[in-house]
Homo-oligomer: A and B are copies of this chain.
Amino acid sequence: MTEDTLTQRAVDRVQASFQRQGMMLHLGARLLRVVAGECELALPYSDKVTQQQGGFHGGAIGALADIAAGYAGLSLAPEGKEVTTVEYKINFLAAFQSGEIHAIGRVVRAGRRLIVTTAEVNHVAPDGKISACAVMQQTLAVVDKAY
């Protein structure tokens, strides 16, 4: 396949899955960008995604990173397959209110059965300032598509 075809195929698969993500849609997440092996999502600040101090909730940050990296993996999975998260590990680097968080997922190694990915999460302030928010390392399993 050409690079354009690979990218279009990745976009189609990820968009089809993203529209089924009840929690992400509910929290207001948006799909920003997807190419083969890489995916970027955004989540705007709202009272749906806060913790006890009014900052972005670690659970929301973790969910966004999990999905961005999962979609990076999905973009490389064989036809008829999808991916499920085996596990992930996330470090939180700083707390943020307002603005948006952006998670960029990248494939480190795509095996036949397992895919290893990383994600970096950045905060984008209302004035455009970008700051590191979290880093994640994840294992995905390649499974038969179930829907």
Contact = CB atoms under 8 A, between A and B. Distances in A.
Interface of A: 17-18, 20-24, 26-27, 47-54, 57-60, 62-64, 66-67, 82, 84-95, 108-109, 113-114, 116, 118, 132, 135-137, 139, 141, 146-147
B86 A23 contact: no
B114 A86 contact: yes
A49 B22 contact: yes
A85 B87 CA distance: 13
A58 B85 contact: yes
26 contacts: A17-B52, A20-B52, A20-B54, A21-B57, A22-B48, A22-B54, A23-B48, A54-B147, A58-B88, A59-B59, A59-B66, A85-B92, A86-B86, A86-B139, A87-B92, A87-B139, A89-B137, A91-B108, A91-B116, A93-B116, A94-B109, A109-B132, A114-B141, A118-B135, A118-B137, A139-B139
